[in-house]
Structure 1
Protein backbone atom coordinates (compact mmCIF):
# COMPACT_ATOMS: atom_id res chain seq x y z
CA UNK A 1 0.00 0.00 0.00
CA UNK A 2 1.42 3.43 -0.93
CA UNK A 3 2.80 5.60 1.86
CA UNK A 4 2.59 9.08 0.36
CA UNK A 5 3.98 12.37 1.66
CA UNK A 6 3.56 15.84 0.16
CA UNK A 7 5.73 18.95 -0.08
CA UNK A 8 5.32 22.31 -1.85
CA UNK A 9 8.64 23.19 -3.50
CA UNK A 10 7.81 26.52 -5.13
CA UNK A 11 5.07 28.74 -6.56
CA UNK A 12 4.73 30.84 -9.68
CA UNK A 13 2.10 32.86 -11.53
CA UNK A 14 0.36 31.11 -14.44
CA UNK A 15 0.75 33.46 -17.38
CA UNK A 16 -2.11 34.23 -19.78
CA UNK A 17 -4.72 32.13 -17.96
CA UNK A 18 -8.42 32.94 -18.17
CA UNK A 19 -8.39 33.92 -14.48
CA UNK A 20 -5.51 34.68 -12.08
CA UNK A 21 -3.82 31.44 -11.07
CA UNK A 22 -0.85 30.38 -8.97
CA UNK A 23 0.90 27.12 -9.83
CA UNK A 24 2.28 25.29 -6.80
CA UNK A 25 4.97 22.72 -7.54
CA UNK A 26 3.77 19.75 -5.52
CA UNK A 27 6.34 17.04 -4.76
CA UNK A 28 4.82 13.65 -3.93
CA UNK A 29 6.98 10.98 -2.31
CA UNK A 30 6.04 7.29 -2.09
CA UNK A 31 8.07 5.31 0.43
CA UNK A 32 6.98 2.09 -1.32
CA UNK A 33 9.05 2.77 -4.42
CA UNK A 34 8.35 -0.62 -6.00
CA UNK A 35 4.66 0.19 -6.44
CA UNK A 36 3.43 1.76 -9.66
CA UNK A 37 1.07 4.68 -9.06
CA UNK A 38 -1.53 4.71 -11.83
CA UNK A 39 -3.52 7.78 -10.74
CA UNK A 40 -4.12 9.92 -7.68
CA UNK A 41 -7.48 11.67 -7.36
CA UNK A 42 -6.26 14.38 -5.03
CA UNK A 43 -8.33 16.75 -2.92
CA UNK A 44 -6.66 19.68 -1.21
CA UNK A 45 -7.94 22.24 1.25
CA UNK A 46 -5.74 25.34 1.53
CA UNK A 47 -5.86 27.38 4.71
CA UNK A 48 -4.18 30.66 5.65
CA UNK A 49 -2.45 30.33 9.02
CA UNK A 50 -2.84 33.96 10.00
CA UNK A 51 -1.23 33.53 13.44
CA UNK A 52 2.10 32.49 11.90
CA UNK A 53 3.23 35.99 10.94
CA UNK A 54 3.51 39.51 12.40
CA UNK A 55 1.48 42.51 11.19
CA UNK A 56 2.64 46.10 10.80
CA UNK A 57 0.32 48.91 12.01
CA UNK A 58 -0.83 49.65 8.46
CA UNK A 59 -1.66 45.97 7.92
CA UNK A 60 -3.53 45.82 11.22
CA UNK A 61 -5.75 48.69 10.08
CA UNK A 62 -6.63 46.84 6.88
CA UNK A 63 -7.52 43.71 8.87
CA UNK A 64 -10.23 45.42 10.95
CA UNK A 65 -12.98 44.01 8.73
CA UNK A 66 -11.67 40.49 9.29
CA UNK A 67 -10.45 40.37 12.88
CA UNK A 68 -11.59 43.59 14.59
CA UNK A 69 -9.36 45.78 16.75
CA UNK A 70 -5.82 44.42 17.36
CA UNK A 71 -6.37 44.34 21.13
CA UNK A 72 -8.94 41.58 20.53
CA UNK A 73 -6.82 39.52 18.16
CA UNK A 74 -6.01 36.97 20.85
CA UNK A 75 -9.68 35.93 20.57
CA UNK A 76 -10.44 36.72 16.92
CA UNK A 77 -7.29 35.74 15.03
CA UNK A 78 -8.04 32.35 13.47
CA UNK A 79 -6.98 30.46 10.35
CA UNK A 80 -8.90 31.37 7.20
CA UNK A 81 -10.07 28.98 4.52
CA UNK A 82 -8.62 30.07 1.18
CA UNK A 83 -9.96 27.49 -1.26
CA UNK A 84 -10.44 23.83 -2.23
CA UNK A 85 -8.65 22.23 -5.16
CA UNK A 86 -9.25 18.90 -6.90
CA UNK A 87 -6.33 17.62 -8.95
CA UNK A 88 -5.54 14.43 -10.87
CA UNK A 89 -1.94 13.25 -10.56
CA UNK A 90 -0.95 11.12 -13.58
CA UNK A 91 0.88 7.81 -13.62
CA UNK A 92 4.36 7.61 -12.19
CA UNK A 93 6.75 4.83 -11.24
CA UNK A 94 9.50 5.05 -8.68
CA UNK A 95 9.81 6.95 -5.46
CA UNK A 96 8.46 10.40 -6.37
CA UNK A 97 6.95 12.81 -8.85
CA UNK A 98 6.34 16.55 -9.08
CA UNK A 99 3.18 18.09 -10.51
CA UNK A 100 2.04 21.66 -11.07
CA UNK A 101 -1.13 22.18 -9.02
CA UNK A 102 -2.87 25.30 -10.31
CA UNK A 103 -5.01 27.30 -7.88
CA UNK A 104 -7.48 29.96 -9.14
CA UNK A 105 -7.30 33.25 -7.21
CA UNK A 106 -10.35 35.43 -6.69
CA UNK A 107 -10.10 39.23 -6.63
CA UNK A 108 -13.59 39.62 -5.16
CA UNK A 109 -13.33 41.77 -2.04
CA UNK A 110 -16.36 40.03 -0.52
CA UNK A 111 -14.08 36.99 -0.09
CA UNK A 112 -12.20 36.93 3.22
CA UNK A 113 -9.01 35.51 1.69
CA UNK A 114 -8.88 38.34 -0.87
CA UNK A 115 -9.26 40.96 1.87
CA UNK A 116 -6.44 39.30 3.79
CA UNK A 117 -4.05 39.09 0.83
CA UNK A 118 -4.74 42.67 -0.21
CA UNK A 119 -4.18 43.91 3.34
CA UNK A 120 -0.60 42.67 3.49
CA UNK A 121 2.20 45.00 2.42
CA UNK A 122 5.18 42.63 2.39
CA UNK A 123 6.58 39.37 3.70
CA UNK A 124 5.02 35.94 3.27
CA UNK A 125 1.56 34.39 3.46
CA UNK A 126 1.69 31.26 5.66
CA UNK A 127 -0.31 28.51 3.93
CA UNK A 128 -1.36 25.06 5.12
CA UNK A 129 -2.26 22.40 2.53
CA UNK A 130 -4.47 19.56 3.81
CA UNK A 131 -4.56 16.55 1.49
CA UNK A 132 -7.04 13.73 1.03
CA UNK A 133 -8.29 11.62 -1.86
CA UNK A 134 -7.79 8.24 -3.49
CA UNK A 135 -4.72 6.53 -4.95
CA UNK A 136 -4.89 3.84 -7.64
CA UNK A 137 -1.79 1.65 -7.53
CA UNK A 138 -0.37 -1.75 -8.43
CA UNK A 139 2.08 -3.64 -6.19
CA UNK A 140 4.64 -5.88 -7.92
CA UNK A 141 2.98 -8.85 -9.61
CA UNK A 142 -0.47 -7.73 -8.41
CA UNK A 143 -3.58 -6.22 -10.05
CA UNK A 144 -4.72 -2.65 -9.70
CA UNK A 145 -5.79 -1.67 -6.19
CA UNK A 146 -7.38 1.36 -4.55
CA UNK A 147 -6.54 3.02 -1.22
CA UNK A 148 -7.49 6.27 0.53
CA UNK A 149 -4.96 8.99 1.31
CA UNK A 150 -4.52 9.54 5.02
CA UNK A 151 -6.26 12.64 6.40
CA UNK A 152 -3.07 13.40 8.30
CA UNK A 153 -1.18 14.38 5.14
CA UNK A 154 -0.35 18.08 5.02
CA UNK A 155 2.28 20.54 3.84
CA UNK A 156 3.17 24.13 4.67
CA UNK A 157 4.42 26.84 2.35
CA UNK A 158 5.21 30.55 2.68
CA UNK A 159 3.80 32.34 -0.36
CA UNK A 160 5.48 35.70 -1.00
CA UNK A 161 3.04 38.60 -0.83
CA UNK A 162 4.98 40.15 -3.70
CA UNK A 163 4.05 37.25 -5.99
CA UNK A 164 0.33 37.62 -5.25
CA UNK A 165 0.47 41.39 -5.83
CA UNK A 166 2.37 41.05 -9.10
CA UNK A 167 -0.20 38.53 -10.32
CA UNK A 168 -3.18 40.77 -9.53
CA UNK A 169 -1.42 43.81 -11.02
CA UNK A 170 -0.93 41.82 -14.23
CA UNK A 171 -4.55 40.65 -14.47
CA UNK A 172 -6.30 43.71 -12.98
CA UNK A 173 -3.94 46.68 -13.33
CA UNK A 174 -4.84 49.53 -10.96
CA UNK A 175 -8.33 48.11 -10.32
CA UNK A 176 -10.33 45.94 -7.91
CA UNK A 177 -13.52 43.87 -8.09
CA UNK A 178 -16.52 44.26 -5.80
CA UNK A 179 -19.85 42.40 -5.81
CA UNK A 180 -23.08 44.32 -5.23
CA UNK A 181 -26.60 43.22 -4.33
CA UNK A 182 -28.95 43.50 -7.32
CA UNK A 183 -31.06 46.24 -5.68
CA UNK A 184 -27.94 48.29 -4.89
CA UNK A 185 -26.70 47.91 -8.46
CA UNK A 186 -30.07 49.06 -9.83
CA UNK A 187 -29.93 52.21 -7.67
CA UNK A 188 -26.38 52.93 -8.77
CA UNK A 189 -27.33 52.34 -12.41
CA UNK A 190 -30.24 54.79 -12.17
CA UNK A 191 -27.97 57.38 -10.54
CA UNK A 192 -25.42 56.97 -13.34
CA UNK A 193 -28.05 57.37 -16.07
CA UNK A 194 -29.82 60.31 -14.42
CA UNK A 195 -26.57 62.28 -14.17
CA UNK A 196 -25.28 61.29 -17.62
CA UNK A 197 -22.07 59.81 -16.26
CA UNK A 198 -19.77 57.84 -18.54
CA UNK A 199 -18.82 54.93 -16.29
CA UNK A 200 -19.22 53.42 -12.82
CA UNK A 201 -16.10 55.05 -11.46
CA UNK A 202 -17.40 58.54 -12.22
CA UNK A 203 -20.73 57.64 -10.59
CA UNK A 204 -19.05 56.47 -7.39
CA UNK A 205 -16.69 59.47 -7.28
CA UNK A 206 -19.64 61.87 -7.60
CA UNK A 207 -21.62 60.08 -4.90
CA UNK A 208 -18.63 60.12 -2.54
CA UNK A 209 -18.06 63.83 -3.20
CA UNK A 210 -21.71 64.53 -2.42
CA UNK A 211 -21.40 62.56 0.83
CA UNK A 212 -18.38 64.66 1.85
CA UNK A 213 -20.30 67.89 1.16
CA UNK A 214 -23.25 66.73 3.26
CA UNK A 215 -21.02 65.83 6.21
CA UNK A 216 -18.80 68.93 6.04
Structure 2
Protein backbone atom coordinates (compact mmCIF):
# COMPACT_ATOMS: atom_id res chain seq x y z
CA UNK A 1 0.00 0.00 0.00
CA UNK A 2 1.35 3.42 -0.96
CA UNK A 3 2.02 5.81 1.90
CA UNK A 4 1.30 9.49 1.21
CA UNK A 5 2.73 12.55 2.95
CA UNK A 6 1.43 16.11 2.54
CA UNK A 7 3.14 19.44 3.12
CA UNK A 8 1.69 22.93 2.67
CA UNK A 9 4.45 25.10 1.19
CA UNK A 10 2.56 28.40 1.00
CA UNK A 11 -0.73 30.22 0.61
CA UNK A 12 -1.77 33.21 -1.48
CA UNK A 13 -4.89 35.09 -2.50
CA UNK A 14 -6.11 34.48 -6.06
CA UNK A 15 -6.28 37.96 -7.67
CA UNK A 16 -8.37 36.71 -10.62
CA UNK A 17 -11.09 34.74 -8.79
CA UNK A 18 -14.69 35.93 -9.01
CA UNK A 19 -14.97 35.84 -5.20
CA UNK A 20 -12.54 35.69 -2.26
CA UNK A 21 -10.35 32.62 -2.82
CA UNK A 22 -7.26 31.34 -1.06
CA UNK A 23 -4.84 29.11 -2.97
CA UNK A 24 -2.80 26.65 -0.92
CA UNK A 25 0.34 25.16 -2.50
CA UNK A 26 0.48 21.49 -1.58
CA UNK A 27 3.42 19.08 -1.93
CA UNK A 28 2.42 15.41 -2.14
CA UNK A 29 4.95 12.61 -1.67
CA UNK A 30 4.28 8.94 -2.47
CA UNK A 31 6.47 6.44 -0.63
CA UNK A 32 9.14 4.56 -2.54
CA UNK A 33 8.80 6.76 -5.62
CA UNK A 34 5.51 5.06 -6.43
CA UNK A 35 3.73 5.72 -9.71
CA UNK A 36 0.40 7.49 -9.13
CA UNK A 37 -1.93 7.72 -12.13
CA UNK A 38 -4.32 10.13 -10.40
CA UNK A 39 -5.32 11.20 -6.92
CA UNK A 40 -8.89 12.14 -5.99
CA UNK A 41 -8.26 14.14 -2.85
CA UNK A 42 -10.60 15.59 -0.23
CA UNK A 43 -9.25 18.30 2.06
CA UNK A 44 -10.83 19.66 5.21
CA UNK A 45 -9.36 22.90 6.60
CA UNK A 46 -9.67 23.81 10.26
CA UNK A 47 -8.53 26.85 12.19
CA UNK A 48 -6.75 25.91 15.42
CA UNK A 49 -7.08 29.05 17.56
CA UNK A 50 -5.23 27.62 20.56
CA UNK A 51 -1.96 27.59 18.57
CA UNK A 52 -1.38 31.38 18.65
CA UNK A 53 -1.50 34.30 21.07
CA UNK A 54 -3.89 37.28 20.99
CA UNK A 55 -3.60 40.95 21.85
CA UNK A 56 -6.20 42.78 23.97
CA UNK A 57 -8.10 44.13 20.94
CA UNK A 58 -8.18 40.69 19.30
CA UNK A 59 -9.36 39.06 22.53
CA UNK A 60 -12.19 41.60 22.80
CA UNK A 61 -13.23 40.96 19.17
CA UNK A 62 -13.23 37.19 19.78
CA UNK A 63 -15.39 37.33 22.91
CA UNK A 64 -18.51 36.39 20.93
CA UNK A 65 -16.80 33.21 19.73
CA UNK A 66 -14.84 32.04 22.77
CA UNK A 67 -16.09 34.06 25.74
CA UNK A 68 -13.82 35.89 28.16
CA UNK A 69 -10.11 35.09 28.07
CA UNK A 70 -10.42 33.41 31.48
CA UNK A 71 -12.56 30.68 29.84
CA UNK A 72 -10.32 30.03 26.84
CA UNK A 73 -8.85 26.90 28.37
CA UNK A 74 -12.15 25.14 27.66
CA UNK A 75 -13.65 27.19 24.79
CA UNK A 76 -10.77 27.63 22.31
CA UNK A 77 -11.94 24.77 20.04
CA UNK A 78 -11.07 24.28 16.33
CA UNK A 79 -13.17 26.22 13.82
CA UNK A 80 -14.16 24.79 10.44
CA UNK A 81 -12.90 26.91 7.53
CA UNK A 82 -13.76 24.87 4.42
CA UNK A 83 -13.95 21.46 2.80
CA UNK A 84 -12.87 21.10 -0.82
CA UNK A 85 -12.07 18.41 -3.38
CA UNK A 86 -9.19 18.43 -5.84
CA UNK A 87 -8.14 16.04 -8.61
CA UNK A 88 -4.36 15.69 -8.73
CA UNK A 89 -2.87 14.62 -12.11
CA UNK A 90 -0.54 11.65 -12.39
CA UNK A 91 2.98 11.80 -10.95
CA UNK A 92 5.84 9.61 -9.83
CA UNK A 93 7.26 10.00 -6.35
CA UNK A 94 6.41 13.64 -5.66
CA UNK A 95 4.40 16.52 -7.08
CA UNK A 96 2.97 19.91 -6.16
CA UNK A 97 -0.55 21.15 -6.81
CA UNK A 98 -2.80 24.10 -5.95
CA UNK A 99 -5.81 23.73 -3.67
CA UNK A 100 -8.28 26.57 -4.27
CA UNK A 101 -10.50 27.39 -1.28
CA UNK A 102 -13.45 29.80 -1.75
CA UNK A 103 -13.95 31.99 1.33
CA UNK A 104 -16.79 34.03 2.80
CA UNK A 105 -16.74 37.54 4.26
CA UNK A 106 -19.86 36.72 6.28
CA UNK A 107 -18.91 37.46 9.88
CA UNK A 108 -21.92 35.44 11.09
CA UNK A 109 -19.82 32.43 10.05
CA UNK A 110 -17.35 31.49 12.79
CA UNK A 111 -14.31 31.28 10.49
CA UNK A 112 -15.02 34.69 8.97
CA UNK A 113 -15.59 36.20 12.42
CA UNK A 114 -12.33 34.74 13.69
CA UNK A 115 -10.15 35.87 10.78
CA UNK A 116 -11.72 39.35 10.71
CA UNK A 117 -10.79 39.77 14.39
CA UNK A 118 -7.06 39.19 13.84
CA UNK A 119 -4.87 42.27 13.45
CA UNK A 120 -1.58 40.74 12.32
CA UNK A 121 0.58 37.63 12.52
CA UNK A 122 -0.66 34.28 11.23
CA UNK A 123 -3.74 32.11 11.61
CA UNK A 124 -2.85 28.47 12.45
CA UNK A 125 -4.58 26.00 10.12
CA UNK A 126 -4.73 22.22 9.95
CA UNK A 127 -5.36 20.46 6.63
CA UNK A 128 -6.93 16.99 6.95
CA UNK A 129 -6.83 14.66 3.93
CA UNK A 130 -8.66 11.61 2.62
CA UNK A 131 -9.52 10.29 -0.82
CA UNK A 132 -8.67 7.67 -3.40
CA UNK A 133 -5.36 6.99 -5.17
CA UNK A 134 -5.01 5.19 -8.50
CA UNK A 135 -1.54 3.65 -8.47
CA UNK A 136 0.66 1.00 -10.06
CA UNK A 137 3.76 0.93 -12.25
CA UNK A 138 2.78 -2.02 -14.42
CA UNK A 139 -0.91 -2.19 -13.62
CA UNK A 140 -3.74 -0.28 -12.04
CA UNK A 141 -4.57 -0.36 -8.33
CA UNK A 142 -7.13 1.57 -6.28
CA UNK A 143 -6.00 2.56 -2.79
CA UNK A 144 -7.52 4.77 -0.09
CA UNK A 145 -5.72 7.82 1.25
CA UNK A 146 -5.71 7.17 5.02
CA UNK A 147 -7.88 9.46 7.14
CA UNK A 148 -4.96 10.30 9.42
CA UNK A 149 -3.03 12.21 6.72
CA UNK A 150 -2.67 15.90 7.66
CA UNK A 151 -0.50 19.01 7.27
CA UNK A 152 -0.16 22.22 9.24
CA UNK A 153 -0.27 25.62 7.59
CA UNK A 154 0.22 29.22 8.74
CA UNK A 155 -2.09 31.66 6.95
CA UNK A 156 -0.66 35.21 7.09
CA UNK A 157 -3.36 37.58 8.31
CA UNK A 158 -2.09 40.09 5.73
CA UNK A 159 -3.02 37.64 2.94
CA UNK A 160 -6.60 37.35 4.27
CA UNK A 161 -6.90 41.13 4.60
CA UNK A 162 -5.48 41.69 1.11
CA UNK A 163 -7.96 39.21 -0.37
CA UNK A 164 -10.98 40.81 1.31
CA UNK A 165 -9.83 44.32 0.42
CA UNK A 166 -9.56 43.23 -3.21
CA UNK A 167 -13.19 42.10 -3.34
CA UNK A 168 -14.75 44.46 -0.76
CA UNK A 169 -12.52 47.57 -0.78
CA UNK A 170 -13.06 49.68 2.32
CA UNK A 171 -16.29 47.83 3.16
CA UNK A 172 -17.75 45.52 5.74
CA UNK A 173 -20.48 42.94 5.20
CA UNK A 174 -23.82 42.63 6.96
CA UNK A 175 -26.39 39.84 6.54
CA UNK A 176 -30.03 40.61 7.35
CA UNK A 177 -33.27 38.58 7.29
CA UNK A 178 -35.43 39.12 4.19
CA UNK A 179 -38.18 40.99 6.04
CA UNK A 180 -35.67 43.35 7.68
CA UNK A 181 -34.01 43.90 4.30
CA UNK A 182 -37.40 44.69 2.76
CA UNK A 183 -38.12 47.25 5.49
CA UNK A 184 -34.69 48.82 4.96
CA UNK A 185 -35.24 49.00 1.18
CA UNK A 186 -38.64 50.61 1.71
CA UNK A 187 -37.08 53.19 4.04
CA UNK A 188 -34.37 53.97 1.47
CA UNK A 189 -36.94 54.38 -1.31
CA UNK A 190 -39.30 56.47 0.83
CA UNK A 191 -36.57 58.99 1.65
CA UNK A 192 -34.87 58.86 -1.80
CA UNK A 193 -31.49 57.93 -0.31
CA UNK A 194 -28.75 57.35 -2.85
CA UNK A 195 -26.89 54.41 -1.28
CA UNK A 196 -26.98 51.86 1.50
CA UNK A 197 -24.29 53.80 3.33
CA UNK A 198 -26.43 56.94 3.30
CA UNK A 199 -29.42 54.88 4.45
CA UNK A 200 -27.57 53.46 7.47
CA UNK A 201 -26.11 56.85 8.37
CA UNK A 202 -29.60 58.40 8.19
CA UNK A 203 -30.97 55.73 10.54
CA UNK A 204 -28.09 56.26 12.96
CA UNK A 205 -28.72 59.99 12.84
CA UNK A 206 -32.43 59.49 13.49
CA UNK A 207 -31.60 57.34 16.50
CA UNK A 208 -29.72 60.26 18.09
CA UNK A 209 -32.26 63.02 17.54
CA UNK A 210 -35.84 63.78 16.61
CA UNK A 211 -34.95 66.29 13.91
CA UNK A 212 -36.28 66.56 10.34
CA UNK A 213 -36.46 63.56 7.97
CA UNK A 214 -33.09 62.22 6.72
CA UNK A 215 -33.26 63.82 3.25
CA UNK A 216 -33.98 67.30 4.68
CA UNK A 217 -31.18 66.89 7.21
CA UNK A 218 -28.74 65.94 4.46
CA UNK A 219 -29.74 68.93 2.32
CA UNK A 220 -29.29 71.32 5.24
CA UNK A 221 -25.66 70.21 5.55
CA UNK A 222 -26.08 68.53 8.92
CA UNK A 223 -23.33 66.02 9.63
CA UNK A 224 -24.62 62.54 10.40
CA UNK A 225 -22.72 60.44 12.93
CA UNK A 226 -20.21 58.12 11.29
CA UNK A 227 -21.06 54.44 11.41
CA UNK A 228 -18.72 52.01 13.05
CA UNK A 229 -18.64 49.97 9.82
CA UNK A 230 -19.89 50.12 6.27
CA UNK A 231 -22.19 47.77 4.47
CA UNK A 232 -21.38 46.57 1.00
CA UNK A 233 -23.93 47.60 -1.65
Please give the alpha-carbon distance, in whole angstroms, between the structure 2 residues aligned to 1:84 and 1:213: 48
Q: Greater shift after overlay, 78-87 or 188-197?
A: 188-197
Q: Which position in structure 2 is the counterpart of 1:199? A: 195
Deviations 1:123-152 (A, max 9, x none): 1100000000111111x33x2111111111
Q: Which position in structure 2 is the counterpart of 1:99? A: 97
Structure 2 residue matching 1:19: 3-state secondary structure: coil
Structure 2 residue matching 1:166: 3-state secondary structure: helix
What's the C-alpha RMSD, in Å, of the aligned pairs? 1.3
Please give the alpha-carbon distance, in whole angstroms, between the structure 2 residues aligned to 1:63 and 1:18: 29
1:57-76 alignment to 2 at 5 Å? 57-76=56-75
Residue 58 of structure 1 deviates from its aligned partner by 0.5
The structure-2 alpha-carbon separation of the partners of 1:134 and 1:121, relative to structure 1 and needing over 3 Å to count, comes to same
Using the size of structure 2 for normalisation, the TM-score is 0.86
1:49-128 alignment to 2 at 5 Å? 49-93=48-92, 95-128=93-126
Please give the alpha-carbon distance, in whole angstroms, between the structure 2 residues aligned to 1:144 and 1:208: 66
Residue 191 of structure 1 deviates from its aligned partner by 1.2
Q: Which runs of 4+ in 1 moved over 6 A?
A: none
Please give the alpha-carbon distance, in whole angstroms, between the structure 2 residues aligned to 1:58 and 1:75: 21
Structure 1 residue matching 2:82: 3-state secondary structure: strand
Please give the alpha-carbon distance, in whole angstroms, between the structure 2 residues aligned to 1:208 and 1:113: 29
Using the size of structure 1 for normalisation, the TM-score is 0.93
Q: Which position in structure 2 is the counterpart of 1:27? A: 27
Give unpaired runs (5+ residues) of structure 2: 211-233
Count, aligned residues: 210
More relative contact order, 1 or 2 (CA 8 Å, 6+ apart): 1
